[in-house]
C-alpha cells in the first residue's frame, strides 16, 4: 500500500484543498493553456492518423515509432520496447522536484468500424481464428494524440517546471494476446516506475457518452477489479432415456448458474459496494438422447474491494462444489485474477480536483458513480498514488442513448475535447510540482 505523505506542519489538514489552490504558478499555467490551444490542429491530425492505422495490443509498432519520433524531436530521452512496444519519454524540468508520470494506452480492438469517416480504419486481421477489422473502438488513439500534445506543451515550458515528467505510452491495455504478457503490469515489471522513481501518476480515459467540456472522476474505488472463472461439472454419461443410470451435468450446471445468482443478491454487502457475477458461456452435450459426461461454464467477476473480491471467490467455490456434490457430480473451479480495482488515492484526488476545476470550470467537473468496467491503470496505482479521470468526448447536445458505447463499431469521439484533455494533463503535472515545492503534495515516497 502507498504511504501518502502530507506535510501537515505547514498547514491545517482541513485547509488542504484550499491551500493547494494557492500552490500554482498562474503565468506558467496561462502559457501552457495558450500552447495547448495552438496545438489543436496538430493533435487532431495525429489522432486521425492513429485512428486510420490502429494496431492490436503488443503489436503497436507503427504507433510506437511515431510517438518515439515526436518525443525525440522535443529533445527528450526516449526508451522504446518497454513492455513489448511501450515508449517512455523523460522530460527534465529546469528546477528540482518530483517525478510525475502521465500515461496513455495505445492499442486498438478487433472491431470492424462502421462509422463513415474520411479517416475510417480499413485495417483487418485474423483474431482467434476469425477475420475481423481493427478499430480504435475505445478511443486510445485520442489518448495517444492528447499526450503527445501535452508532451509538446510541457517541453515548451520545461525551464519553469519544478520536477521531471515521465511520459508512459502503454501497449495492450485491453489485454495481451493469448500466452503473452503485456500492458501496465509488464511495463512495471520492466521498471517503468523506477529510474527515476515516479512520485505520482495521472491518466485519463475519453468517454463517448459524456459531453465535451465535462470531466468526471471519483475518489477511491473508481473502476472494478476483474477476474475470470471457469467451472467444469463432471457427471456420469448415460442414455437420455434412462437418466437414473447416470449423473446429469446439465441439470447440475443449471442449478449452479442459479446458485451463483445468490452471491450478489444474498452475500455481497450491497450498501458498501456493487459486485457482478456473470456466466458468459455454458456448453454441454452433443445429441438429444445422450446425457453427456460434463458441462463447462465461464464467466466474469467485478468487485470494488479486496474483501468483496475474496468473498465472491469463496462463494463461487462453495456453491459450485456443494451443488455438484449434492447431485453426485464433481465441480472443478478455476479463478484467474486479472486487473485490480482502479483506486484513486483519496488524498491525491482531493489535492488535484481543484486543478481540473480550474481548467474545465467548476460546474463542468462532476463526481461519477463507480464503473464495473476495468482498467489496467490500476496496476500503476498499486505501486504509486495515482489519479484516473474521464474526459467527455460526446458532441454537445447529443443524447446519451444516441451515442454508441465503447467497443462497438459505431463508437465515435468529438475531437473538440482534445484541448481540454491536453490542458488537464499539463495542469495536473504543473500544479502537483508546485504543491510538492510547498510541501503539500501526496507522494509515493
Interface size with Zn ion, residues (CB under 5 A): 1
Q: How far apart are the first and last CA of the chain?
A: 12
The answer to the question of residue 176 lying near Zn ion (CB under 5 A) is no
* Coil vs helix vs strand at 442: coil
Q: How far is the CB of 139 from Zn ion (least distance, A)?
A: 6
Q: How far is the CB of 173 from Zn ion (least distance, A)?
A: 6
Q: How far is the CB of 243 from Zn ion (least distance, A)?
A: 44
Torsion of CA 57, 60, 64, 67, to 10 degrees: -80
Stretch near Zn ion under the rule CB under 5 A, chosen from 30-38, 134-142, 208-216, 385-393: 134-142
The answer to the question of residue 123 lying near Zn ion (CB under 5 A) is no
Among 414, 391, 346, 321, which Cα is nearest to 150's? 391
Q: Which is nearer to Zn ion, 173 or 199 (CB)?
A: 173
Asked if omega into 196 is within 30° of 0 (cis), the reply is yes
Q: Which is nearer to Zn ion, 174 or 434 (CB)?
A: 174
Residue 43 region by backbone torsions, left for phi larger than 0, else alpha for psi between -120 and 50, else beta: alpha
**Cα–Cα distance, 353 to 272 (Å, whole number):** 24
Q: Which is nearer to Zn ion, 140 or 315 (CB)?
A: 140
Q: Verify whether residue 415 is a known catalytic residue.
A: yes
Stretch near Zn ion under the rule CB under 5 A, chosen from 41-49, 133-141, 225-233, 414-422: 133-141
Q: Which is nearer to Zn ion, 145 or 153 (CB)?
A: 145
Q: How far is the CB of 111 from Zn ion (least distance, A)?
A: 10
The answer to the question of residue 138 lying near Zn ion (CB under 5 A) is yes
The answer to the question of residue 312 lying near Zn ion (CB under 5 A) is no
Q: How far is the CB of 146 from Zn ion (least distance, A)?
A: 13
Among 427, 292, 282, which Cα is nearest to 354's? 427
* Coil vs helix vs strand at 441: coil
| Contact (CB, 8 A) for 352 and 23 | no
Q: Which residue is nearest to Zn ion (CB)?
A: 138
DSSP assigned state of 116: -
Residues numbered 292-311 forming contacts with Zn ion, rule: CB under 5 A: none
Stretch near Zn ion under the rule CB under 5 A, chosen from 5-13, 55-63, 131-139, 175-183: 131-139
Stretch near Zn ion under the rule CB under 5 A, chosen from 24-32, 130-138, 356-364, 408-416: 130-138
**Cα–Cα distance, 194 to 192 (Å, whole number):** 6
**Cα–Cα distance, 181 to 185 (Å, whole number):** 8
Instruction: Give the β-pairing of 200-211 and 386-394.
Output: parallel
What is the DSSP secondary-structure string of 214-236?
Answer: -EEE-SEEEE-EEEEEEEEEE-B
Planar angle of CA 387, 212, 364, nearest 5 degrees: 60
**Cα–Cα distance, 46 to 176 (Å, whole number):** 24
Among 135, 4, 14, 26, which Cα is nearest to 427's? 26
Q: Which is nearer to Zn ion, 141 or 211 (CB)?
A: 141
Q: How far is the CB of 221 from Zn ion (least distance, A)?
A: 18
| Contact (CB, 8 A) for 428 and 54 | no
The grid coordinates of residue 216 equal 468526471
Q: Report residue 198 CA to chain centroid gap.
A: 19
Residues numbered 364-393 forming contacts with Zn ion, rule: CB under 5 A: none
Q: Verify whether residue 194 is a known catalytic residue.
A: no
* Selected catalytic residue, list 55, 152, 229, 339: 339
Stretch near Zn ion under the rule CB under 5 A, chosen from 5-13, 138-146, 163-171, 411-419: 138-146
Q: How far is the CB of 137 from Zn ion (least distance, A)?
A: 7
The answer to the question of residue 192 lying near Zn ion (CB under 5 A) is no
* Coil vs helix vs strand at 383: helix
Q: Which is nearer to Zn ion, 138 or 157 (CB)?
A: 138
Q: How far is the CB of 387 from Zn ion (least distance, A)?
A: 17
Q: Which is nearer to Zn ion, 67 or 226 (CB)?
A: 226
* Selected catalytic residue, list 60, 415, 432, 434: 415
Positions annotated as catalytic residues are 339, 415
Contacts with Zn ion by CB under 5 A lie at: 138
Amino acid at each position: 500500500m502507498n504511504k501518502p505523505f502530507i506535510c501537515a506542519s505547514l498547514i491545517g489538514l482541513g485547509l488542504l484543498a484550499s491551500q493547494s489552490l494557492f500552490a500554482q504558478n498562474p503565468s506558467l499555467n496561462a502559457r501552457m493553456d495558450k500552447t495547448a490551444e495552438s496545438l489543436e490542429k496538430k493533435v487532431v491530425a495525429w489522432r486521425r492518423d492513429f485512428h486510420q492505422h490502429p494496431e492490436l495490443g503488443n503489436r503497436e509498432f507503427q504507433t510506437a515509432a511515431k510517438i518515439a519520433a515526436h518525443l525525440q524531436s522535443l529533445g527528450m530521452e526516449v526508451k522504446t520496447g518497454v513492455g513489448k512496444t511501450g515508449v517512455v519519454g523523460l522530460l527534465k524540468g529546469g528546477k528540482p522536484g518530483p517525478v510525475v508520470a502521465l500515461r496513455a494506452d495505445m492499442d486498438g480492438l478487433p472491431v470492424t468500424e462502421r462509422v463513415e469517416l474520411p479517416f475510417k480504419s480499413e485495417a483487418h486481421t485474423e483474431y482467434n481464428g476469425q477475420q475481423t477489422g481493427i478499430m480504435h473502438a475505445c478511443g486510445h488513439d485520442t489518448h495517444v494524440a492528447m499526450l503527445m500534445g501535452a508532451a509538446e506543451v510541457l517541453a515548451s515550458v520545461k525551464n519553469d517546471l519544478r520536477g521531471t515528467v515521465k511520459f508512459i505510452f502503454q501497449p495492450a491495455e485491453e489485454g495481451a494476446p493469448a500466452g503473452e504478457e503485456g500492458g501496465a503490469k509488464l511495463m512495471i515489471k520492466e521498471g517503468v516506475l523506477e529510474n527515476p522513481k515516479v512520485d505520482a501518476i495521472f491518466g485519463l480515459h475519453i468517454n463517448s457518452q459524456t459531453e465535451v467540456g465535462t470531466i468526471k472522476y471519483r475518489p477511491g474505488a473508481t473502476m472494478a477489479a476483474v477476474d475470470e472463472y471457469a467451472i467444469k461439472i463432471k457427471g456420469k454419461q448415460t442414455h437420455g432415456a434412462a437418466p437414473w443410470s447416470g449423473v446429469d451435468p446439465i441439470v447440475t450446471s443449471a442449478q449452479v448458474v442459479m446458485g451463483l445468482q445468490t452471491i450478489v443478491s444474498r452475500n455481497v454487502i450491497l450498501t458498501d459496494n456493487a459486485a457482478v457475477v456473470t456466466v458468459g458461456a455454458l456448453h454441454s452435450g452433443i445429441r438429444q438422447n445422450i446425457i453427456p459426461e460434463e458441462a463447462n461454464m465461464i464467466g466474469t467477476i467485478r468487485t470494488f474491494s479486496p474483501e468483496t473480491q475474496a468473498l465472491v471467490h469463496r462463494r463461487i467455490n462453495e456453491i459450485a462444489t456443494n451443488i455438484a456434490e449434492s447431485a453426485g457430480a464433481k465441480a472443478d473451479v478455476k479463478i484467474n485474477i486479472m486487473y485490480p480495482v482502479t483506486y484513486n488515492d483519496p488524498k491525491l484526488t482531493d489535492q488535484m480536483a481543484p486543478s481540473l476545476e480550474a481548467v474545465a470550470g467548476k460546474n463542468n467537473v462532476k463526481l461519477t458513480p463507480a464503473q464495473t468496467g476495468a482498467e489496467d491503470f490500476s496496476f500503476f496505482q498499486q505501486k504509486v498514488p495515482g489519479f484516473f479521470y474521464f474526459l467527455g468526448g460526446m458532441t454537445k447536445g447529443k443524447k446519451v442513448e444516441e451515442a454508441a458505447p465503447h467497443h462497438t463499431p459505431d463508437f465515435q469521439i468529438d475531437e473538440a475535447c482534445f484541448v481540454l484533455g491536453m490542458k488537464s494533463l499539463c495542469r495536473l503535472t504543473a500544479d502537483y510540482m508546485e504543491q510538492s515545492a510547498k510541501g503539500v503534495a501526496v507522494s509515493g515516497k
